[in-house]
């Protein structure tokens, strides 16, 4: 079921990571995604792993839940590992597996690349786990604010983002509801030949589109009724604020960065 | 078909921060041919319960038996399609499930999935159209051209066309005007008797439960709060108050009548006319 997928899902908890300013979190994670690629030896990877795991621990989200949520990407991680194992030809031949020679370099590289992959996914999923969609869009809107000078529609983009994020769960619910209704009318989504299963999607998609359009129209109407006329002169209920906590986090993150460049070869 | 729940529990997203116990050790028995009302507040587990009735959900513990079909955790139910053919579910706002180009095709969709031939479906059409009071001239129109009430009735026709033995209704009158509500409920009541269906009605309306059901189950937070005949359930004002439910209008009226005028009438599915007669008789022959 879709509920086992936690990427993009917010888990409320009372933790330091939850309380950080979303802009701090976004900037840190953005930088992390870049610096992960600079790690090139065991020490630097270990350093980053320690950082990621302690960040994950700080969120107070249960580790079991975190790992279970990453289930859909385990396959990709393992696949990357195997691909490297069989394709890379560096170092000495260690053994042969299924008739393929396995090189020592392949083992190391496979391990490094899948670890990198794992860290990337773990850390980026921490953002959505600890930050509400509203906070994320608010942060993006402020971060992109300078682009307004070149007539980039920052507010509209942020609004579009928050509306789509807001309606993902609604649409998922709707999908589940309609698929259940059609299942009780005898549609079989899970078994049967591929052609029939593809056809089974039609009774699901048509009502879904109908309701999505209806919803969009109602939303537009409700927004106009409440006097929405774009971002001009709009004030906020919750102002984002960088506080001491954020400076500490940024400081620690700088230590991680400096440490990484010191450790890499 | 007899339906029985034996210590059924259902937990959504077990072992996660979103774990939610929707049903807790629920047991009851519904006899074939009964009209049962399931009443309870939002979040009392009604919707979860009805999804167990045709195998959309399975209990996380306990056992559900519907006729010869058995639903149990970690056990694959044989021929679940057969179960869904026999148990027709009219979901909340069933008009949201319409999708075909024409009304005729949409009504035929269910029966066709269960292997009915075109001739069989053609033969069933006039009957179901008559039941839901949709004119045959509309058959070639798009279901999206209809009014809300008509769409609802077409969607209901789509379920009736499957000729189920058990009919499950999840607030079938929500969002209809009072006249439409009355029509739809009367239609289900008529079908229940004509076809000898087992009907399970999920509702917020105490009045409907009192009027149509011969057995009532009141749910509260996934547990059974009260169960029994509507005449005995709906007079227990205090027990109903505990779960924020009201006594049906008719019963409340009779209670007031007794308190103010000392007239004691035991409710037994009286129509309004019958009640008037009875009150007149008690007041001393219609002054």
Does B266 lie at the interface with A, CB-CB under 8 angstroms? Answer: no
Contacts of B13 in chain A (CB under 8 A): 3
Res. A1: pLDDT tops 50: no
For B125-134, what is each residue's pLDDT tens digit?
Answer: 999 999 888 8
Q: Which of B18, B110, B144 sits opposite A186 (nearest CB)?
A: B110
Mutate to test the interface with B, among A63, A177, A181 (most CBs of B within 10 A): A181
Say what the pLDDT of residue B153 is. 92
Say what the pLDDT of residue B263 is. 80
Res. A155: pLDDT tops 60: yes
Are the CB atoms for A56 and A126 separated by under 8 Å? yes
- Number of Cβ atoms within 10 Å of the Cβ of A103: 22
For B170-214, what is each residue's pLDDT tens digit?
Answer: 999 888 888 888 889 999 999 999 989 999 999 888 888 888 999
- Number of Cβ atoms within 10 Å of the Cβ of A24: 20
More confident residue, A205 or A128: A205
Contacts of A176 (CB under 8 A, 6+ apart): A2
**Residue A241: alpha-carbon gap to chain centroid:** 24
Say what the pLDDT of residue B278 is. 84
Q: Which residues of A226-265 are buried (b: 16+ CB within 10 A; e: fewer)?
A: eeeeeeeeeeeeeeeeeeeebeebbeebeebbebbeebee
Q: Which of B16, B97, B144 sits opposite A182 (nearest CB)?
A: B97
CB contact under 8 A, A203 and B109: yes
Q: Supply φ then ψ for residue A214, to 5 degrees.
A: -60, -45
Alpha-carbon distance of B164 to B88, in angstroms, equals 5
Alpha-carbon distance of A251 to B21, in angstroms, equals 44
Are the CB atoms for B222 and B44 separated by under 8 Å? yes
CB contact under 8 A, B96 and A207: yes
As a whole number, the mean pLDDT across chain A is 85
CB contact under 8 A, B81 and A186: yes
Closest residue in chain B to residue A67, using alpha carbons only? B16
Contacts of B101 in chain A (CB under 8 A): none
CB contact under 8 A, B56 and A184: yes
Question: Which of B204, B199, B153, B200 has its CA nearest to residue B180?
Answer: B153
Region of poorest pLDDT, from A15-29, B167-181, B252-266: B252-266
B183 Cα to chain A: minimum distance (Å): 23
A92 Cα to chain B: minimum distance (Å): 45
CB contact under 8 A, A177 and B18: no
Packing angle, helices B118-132 and B103-113, rounded to 10: 120
- Number of Cβ atoms within 10 Å of the Cβ of B102: 14
Alpha-carbon distance of B265 to B275, in angstroms, equals 9
Are the CB atoms for B53 and B66 separated by under 8 Å? yes
Q: Which of A61, A184, A207 sits opposite B54 (nearest CB)?
A: A184
Does B137 lie at the interface with A, CB-CB under 8 angstroms? Answer: no
Say what the pLDDT of residue B285 is. 58
User: Residue A81 has which token pair?
Assistant: 């590992």
Contacts of A159 (CB under 8 A, 6+ apart): A137, A231
Domains in chain B, CATH or no CATH each: 3-247 (3.40.50.300), 248-286 (no CATH)
A64 Cα to chain B: minimum distance (Å): 9
As a whole number, the mean pLDDT across chain B is 88
Say what the pLDDT of residue B106 is. 92
User: Residue B260 has which token pair?
Assistant: 């103010």
Whole-prediction pTM: 0.74
For B106-129, what is each residue's pLDDT tens digit?
Answer: 999 999 989 889 999 999 999 999
* 3 state DSSP class of B116: coil
Q: Which of A3, A62, A202 sits opposite B99 (nearest CB)?
A: A202
Alpha-carbon distance of A146 to A150, in angstroms, equals 8
Q: Supply φ then ψ for residue B30, to 5 degrees.
A: -120, 125
Which burial class, exposed, middle or buried, applies to B149 when counting CB atoms under 10 A from its CB (0-12, 13-18, 19+)?
middle
CB contact under 8 A, B97 and A185: yes
Res. B19: pLDDT tops 60: yes
For A79-102, what is each residue's pLDDT tens digit?
Answer: 888 888 888 777 777 777 777 777
Does B172 lie at the interface with A, CB-CB under 8 angstroms? Answer: no
**B181-B183-B185-B186 Cα dihedral, nearest 10 degrees:** 150
pLDDT > 90: percent of chain B: 42
CB contact under 8 A, A184 and B89: yes
Q: What is the ipTM of this complex?
A: 0.85
Contacts of B98 in chain A (CB under 8 A): 207
Res. B18: pLDDT tops 80: no
Alpha-carbon distance of B101 to B143, in angstroms, equals 7
Res. A2: pLDDT tops 50: no
- Number of Cβ atoms within 10 Å of the Cβ of B76: 7
Res. B30: pLDDT tops 70: yes
CB contact under 8 A, A186 and B51: no
Say what the pLDDT of residue A8 is. 60
Q: Which of A3, A186, A203 sits opposite B84 (nearest CB)?
A: A186
For A201-213, what is each residue's pLDDT tens digit?
Answer: 888 999 999 999 9
More confident residue, A220 or B283: A220
Where do the domains of chain A lie? 1-131+236-265
pLDDT > 70: percent of chain B: 99
Which residue in this structure is represented by tokens 């970690």? B74
Res. B89: pLDDT tops 90: yes
Using CA atoms, how far residue A75 sits from A37, A42, A71, A79, B166, in Å, is 21, 23, 8, 6, 43
More confident residue, A240 or A28: A28
CB contact under 8 A, A181 and B91: yes
User: Residue A137 has which token pair?
Assistant: 């869009």
Q: Which residues of A fall below an 8 Å CB-CB distance to B? A: 3, 11, 61-62, 64-65, 68, 177-178, 180-188, 202-203, 206-207, 210-211
Torsion sign, CA atoms B246, B247, B248, B252: negative
User: Residue B133 has which token pair?
Assistant: 């009071």
Does B20 lie at the interface with A, CB-CB under 8 angstroms? Answer: no
A181 Cα to chain B: minimum distance (Å): 7
**Average of pLDDT values for A98-116?**
84
Torsion sign, CA atoms A129, A169, A179, B219: positive
- The full 3-state SS of chain A, as one line of letters, equals CHHHCCCCCCCCCCCHHHHCCHHHHHHHHHHHHHHHHHCCCHHHHHHHHHHHHHHHHHCCCCHHHHHHHCHHHHHHHHHHHHHHHHHCCCCCEEEEECCEEEEHHHHHHHHHHHHHHHHHHHHHHHHHHHCCHHHHHHHHHHHCHHHHHHCCCHHHHHHHHHHHHHHHHHHHHHHHHHHHHHHHCCCCCCCCCHHHHHHCCHHHHHHHHHHHHHHHHHHHHHHHHCCCCCCCCCCCCCCCCCCHHHHHHHHHHHHHHHHHHHHCC
Mutate to test the interface with A, among B49, B85, B113 (most CBs of A within 10 A): B113
Are the CB atoms for B143 and B154 separated by under 8 Å? yes
Are the CB atoms for A115 and A49 separated by under 8 Å? yes
Closest residue in chain A to residue B89, using alpha carbons only? A184
């Amino acid at each position: 079921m879709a509920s086992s997928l936690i990427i993009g899902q917010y888990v409320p908890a009372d933790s330091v990571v939850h309380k950080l300013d979303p802009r701090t979190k976004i900037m840190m994670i953005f930088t992390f995604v870049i610096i992960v690629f600079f790690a090139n030896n065991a020490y630097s990877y270990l350093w980053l792993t320690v950082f990621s795991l302690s960040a994950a621990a700080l969120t107070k989200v249960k580790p079991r839940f975190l790992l279970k949520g990453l289930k859909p990407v385990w396959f990709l991680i393992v696949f990357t590992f195997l691909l490297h194992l069989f394709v890379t030809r560096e170092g000495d031949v260690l053994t042969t597996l299924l008739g393929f020679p396995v090189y020592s370099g392949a083992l190391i590289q496979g391990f490094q690349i899948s670890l990198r992959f794992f860290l990337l996914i773990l850390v980026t999923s921490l953002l959505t786990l600890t930050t509400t969609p509203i906070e994320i869009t608010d942060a993006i809107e402020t971060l992109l604010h300078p682009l307004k000078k070149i007539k980039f529609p920052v507010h509209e983009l942020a609004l579009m983002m928050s509306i789509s994020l807001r309606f993902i769960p609604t649409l998922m619910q709707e999908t589940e509801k309609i698929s259940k209704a059609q299942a009780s009318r005898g549609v079989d989504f899970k078994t049967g030949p591929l052609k029939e299963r593809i056809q089974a999607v039609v009774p699901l998609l048509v009502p879904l589109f109908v309701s999505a359009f209806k919803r969009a129209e109602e939303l537009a109407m409700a927004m106009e009724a409440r006097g929405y006329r774009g971002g001009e002169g709009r004030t906020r209920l919750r102002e984002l604020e960088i506080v001491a906590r954020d400076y500490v986090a940024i400081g620690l993150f700088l230590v991680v960065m400096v440490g990484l460049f010191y450790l890499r070869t | 078909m007899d339906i029985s729940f034996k210590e059924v529990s259902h937990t959504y997203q077990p072992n996660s921060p979103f774990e939610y116990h929707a049903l807790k050790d629920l047991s009851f028995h519904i006899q074939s041919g009964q009209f049962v009302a399931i009443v309870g507040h939002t979040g009392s587990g009604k919707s979860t319960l009805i999804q167990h009735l045709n195998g959309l959900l399975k209990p996380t513990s306990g056992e559900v038996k519907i006729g010869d079909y058995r639903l149990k955790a970690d056990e694959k139910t044989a021929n679940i399609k057969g179960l869904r053919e026999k148990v027709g579910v009219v979901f909340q706002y069933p008009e949201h499930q319409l999708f075909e180009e024409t009304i005729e095709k949409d009504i035929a969709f269910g029966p066709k999935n269960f292997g009915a031939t075109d001739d069989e479906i053609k033969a069933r059409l006039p009957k179901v159209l008559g039941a839901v009071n949709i004119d045959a001239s509309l058959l070639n129109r798009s279901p999206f051209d209809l009014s809300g009430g008509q769409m609802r009735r077409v969607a209901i026709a789509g379920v009736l066309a499957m000729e189920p033995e058990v009919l499950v209704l999840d607030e079938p009158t929500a969002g209809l005007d009072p006249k439409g509500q009355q029509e739809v409920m009367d239609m289900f009541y008529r079908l229940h008797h004509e076809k000898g269906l087992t009907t399970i009605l999920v509702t917020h309306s105490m009045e409907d439960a009192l009027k149509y059901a011969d057995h009532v189950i009141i749910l509260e937070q996934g547990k059974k709060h009260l169960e029994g005949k509507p005449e005995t359930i709906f007079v227990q004002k205090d027990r109903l108050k505990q779960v924020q439910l009201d006594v049906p209008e008719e019963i409340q009226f009779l209670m007031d009548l007794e308190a103010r005028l000392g007239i004691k009438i035991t409710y037994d599915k009286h129509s309004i006319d019958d009640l008037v007669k009875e009150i007149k008789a008690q007041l001393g022959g219609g002054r």
